[in-house]
Structure 1
Amino acid sequence: MKRNFFKHAAAAALIAVMTVLLSGCLYPKDQLEQNKMPPKDAILSVQAVIDQYQKDTGLLPIQNSKPDTLVYEKYRIDFDKLQRMNYISEIPATAYEKGGSYYYLIINEETDPTVKLMNLVIYQQVNDLQASVKSYSDAHKGKLPAGKSVYPDFTGLDFKEMGIKEPVLSSVFSGQTLSTIMDAKGNVYLDYGIDITQVLQKLGSGKKPDDKQDLRALLANQSDLVPVKAPIYRLRGGEPQAMLK
């Protein structure tokens, strides 16, 4: 009896351990329920609140940001203010303020304020890579781990020189793996050239934007998400090109 008891106990313990291990493999942090896209009605509800707030006050409930903050990171919704002023009873569960994996943002703030989401999992992955670039630069007297030229204003990153493995960074639009690019100051971005090209192909030649338009809007306008850590893109020679201005 004792032998059978210990045999069953050991088997149960092994199953418990395997369950924990498999859970960690199959359900990494960025695939947990709270990190999935919120339902459409949650976004529409926040949009309705923003519209009403602007109608009542003539303003937008946004947090302060630095002048050099990228446009698709800049106008974060101030949920605390909305709660204090009784415009919302609960902050969305998927919002960063509630431990979720999205910043709720406003784009087109001057013409047509629209609620969009920024994926914080990808955002943090790029920030981690930015920290690695800084560490390399600090250790090499300001030298940057620049790889081959990708665009006139950007190079790739030399991961071999940095001594790290190139991370797999997936597009929030297509799921394709995106490359990383870096400007002359060491700022790291994601290259959405492939995604923008696909959108342009769907538009057809008669609907292509002009050379002055910022092509990032093509991605944001077709989705509830914004491009994370994206530089400006404009058409050059009929192809999307990343640039600083």
Structure 2
Amino acid sequence: MKKYIACMMSIVFLLVLSGCLYPNERRAENQIPYPAMVESVQSAVDQFQEANGVLPIATRDADTPLYEKYVIEFQRLVPRFLEAPPNNSFERGGIFQYVLVDVEEDPTVMLLDLRLTNAVRDLQQRVNQYLRDQYLPVESIVDQQYVKLDYEALNLREEPTVQSPYSMQELPFIVDSSGRVGIDYKKDLYYFLEQSDFEQLEEGKDIRSILYQSSLLVPAHSFPYVIENGEIILK
């Protein structure tokens, strides 16, 4: 009997332990950009477009930034074209929003890291609150109509940054003339361009697409960048 009880207790312990570990394992799964999940959504989007002649995307305002504009609506794909949204999608408690790029020529499924969205939103709220009574707190001009903020005026002890989804280096924030907060990907762009040929890129054309050519992630909350006279500038 004692051996039986001991055996049953061991089984119960293992079940409890498994129950404790499962949320952590699920959390980790929700934060990984699995290629297979992107491929399954791509297949569903392709089938939906072929069957309906349109893309399964949400309606956004015309001035919505490019890489946040074409968000996939999973309710239009499930269950006919896709069994369920991927585990790492926002709809399933994950950190990624599934979006489309190149919608006119070759609609391609990519991921938007919502941790970047949250960081931008937090800073945007501070800026909006400051702008209620005062002008934009500018420390310096970055490029043309883009500025670096005076973070001391915003009651921040140090300059906030976000981790790049491409190089893992820390990226600063920038703000356009209207007060819209974005992420400055210039360091990442220079990093990629050092490994390619400037001459192959058309001057005056937005070059952000080079960031996700070998990635599943879009440059969320970015502004357009072009090359002029061998330099990368914000446009």
How high is the TM-score relative to the length of structure 2?
A: 0.85
Give the residue type in structure 1 aligned to 2:182.
Y
> Shift of residue 222 of structure 1?
2.3
Cα distance between partner residues in 2 of 1:156 and 1:35: 33
Superposed, which structure 2 residues align to 1:223-242 within 5 Å? Answer: 223-242=215-234
Pick the aligned partner of 1:127 from 117, 121, 124. 121
Match of 1:200 in 2: 193
Query: What is the 5 A alignment of 1:148-187?
Result: 148-165=140-157, 166-187=159-180
Per-residue Cα deviation, 1:22-51 (whole angstroms, up to 9, x for no partner): xxxxx9xxxx41442232111111111111
- Equivalent residue number for residue 64 of structure 1: 59
Paired with 1:151 and 1:71, the residues of 2 have a C-alpha distance of 20
Q: Which has the higher contact order (CA 8 A, sep 6+)?
A: 2
Query: Identity of counterpart residues, as a percentage?
Result: 33
Aligned AA for 1:132? R
Number of residue pairs the alignment of both structures matches: 209
Q: Distance in 1 between matches of 2:30 and 2:193?
A: 29
Aligned partner of residue 160 in structure 1, secondary structure: coil
Q: Report the CA distance shift for 1:48/1:168 in structure 2 as closer, same or farther (over 3 A).
A: same
Match of 1:40 among 9, 12, 35: 35
Separation (CA, whole Å) in 2 of partners of 1:131 and 1:78? 27
Q: RMSD of the alignment, in Å?
A: 1.5
Q: Secondary structure of 1:159's match?
A: coil
Aligned letter for 1:227? P
Asked if 1:147 corresponds to 2:147, the answer is no
1:51 aligns with 2:51: no
Change (3 A) 1:63 1:137: same
Would you tell me which structure has more helix in proportion to its own residues?
Answer: 1
Q: Distance in 2 between matches of 1:127 and 1:206?
A: 37
The Cα offsets for residues 106-127 of structure 1, whole Å up to 9 and x where unpaired, read as 1100100000000001111011
Alpha-carbon separation, structure 2, partners of 1:42 and 1:203:
29
Distance 1:89 1:37 in 2: 20
Partner residue, 1:87? 81
Listed as ranges, the gaps of 5+ residues in structure 1 are 1-26
Matched, 1:189 2:191: no
CA distance in 1, matches of 2:62, 2:185: 23
Deviation, 1:237, is 1.8
Distance 2:47 2:219 in 1: 27
Matched, 1:103 2:100: no
The amino acid that maps onto 1:103 is: Q
State the secondary structure of the residue aligned to 2:38: helix
In the alignment, is the contact (CA less than 8 A) between 2:33 and 2:111 conserved in 1? no
CA–CA separation in structure 1 for the residues paired with 2:175 and 2:65: 15
